[in-house]
Amino acid sequence: MTEEYSFPPFEEEIKNLLEKFGGERMETYQGEDITPLWDLKGEGLPWSYKYLYTAPKLEKIVLAVQSFRDKLMSYGASIWPDDEHALPIFSSYWAESAKGSYFIVDFYPTADCICDIPYMEKYLEPLEDAFAKGMDYFPTLGSGRNPNWFKALVSPYCLSGDFFPSTKKTQGQVLELMTSYLTVYHDLWEKDQPRDPAYMKPLNARKNAIKQNFREKDPGGFMMIKAVGEEMAELGLKVLF
């Protein structure tokens, strides 16, 4: 008997974990009104939203969900630390349809880990168990079929790849990996303390370079320009990254 397809409960599961950070939804970001992104529609985009939240130790928490013709769902959640904390950037993205899935989950390090082994031990090694489970679920995963600039910014614990078709089993596995990574991040966030400004200077430079590269090269940018126009697409990228 053919399994009946339905989309995964990403929003419910991730929202429950994000609430632990105690964030407040932001109406403006860097001086711009972002409330139009709360309910954005366009060509082939029957509904979508992008929410930003502010929380201690963080610049922003991003939650973005988009429906393309009600056949493809795009889910994203990310957490960006403020300039005083050395936390990595939590990133999760999932494009999901009955035909297949593509996903990424990682902590993008803000330090050069080969030059700063203690950073890797503190902020990335806690992912060891979740990463091992991901490789057990999907043995061919790694940093996936992604461009070189993306591979240059990810951590050794990046899980990314695509598979066909999507099933209830694979949905559950992807969601488990994303919630596991987010739970580890919350634990790190609770314990983290401000760092010396001199130490933070190169970390913030790397964080800003990550933002710039995503804004300039995000592969979903073309789809959003077509759906909602250049102005709203640019605002969406600014919010995401």
pLDDT tens by residue, 153-211:
999 999 998 888 889 999 999 999 999 999 999 999 999 999 999 999 999 999 999 99
What DSSP designation does 45 have? B
Grouping H, G, I as helix, E, B as strand and the rest as coil, residue 200 is: helix
Q: Are 27 and 35 in contact (CB under 8 A)?
A: yes
In terms of phi and psi (left: phi > 0; alpha: psi -120 to 50; beta: otherwise), the region of 79 is beta
Beta strands in the chain (DSSP E): 24-25, 28-29, 32-33, 47-54, 58-68, 72-81, 89-97, 100-108, 159-163
Residue 2, pLDDT above cutoff 80: no
With a pLDDT cut of 90, the percent of the chain lying above it is 77
Tokens of 4: 């009946």
Tokens of 91: 């990133």
- Give the mean model confidence (pLDDT) for residues 54-70: 95
Would you say domain 10-240 falls under CATH 3.40.30.10? no
In terms of phi and psi (left: phi > 0; alpha: psi -120 to 50; beta: otherwise), the region of 59 is alpha
Report in angstroms the alpha-carbon separations of 66 from 57, 72, 78, 95: 28, 8, 15, 9
The per-residue pLDDT for range 226-236, each reduced to its tens digit, is 889 889 999 99
Distance CA 175, CA 195 (A): 32
The owner of tokens 């999901």 is 96
- Give the mean model confidence (pLDDT) for residues 29-40: 96
Nearest to 108 by CA among 83, 91, 95, 131: 91
Q: Are 49 and 38 in contact (CB under 8 A)?
A: yes
Distance CA 131, CA 156 (A): 9
Distance CA 177, CA 64 (A): 18
- For the chain, the maximum distance between any two Cα atoms, rounded to a whole number of angstroms, is 62
Q: Where exactly are the structural domains of the chain?
A: 10-240
**pLDDT for the residue numbered 144:** 60
Q: Are 78 and 62 in contact (CB under 8 A)?
A: yes
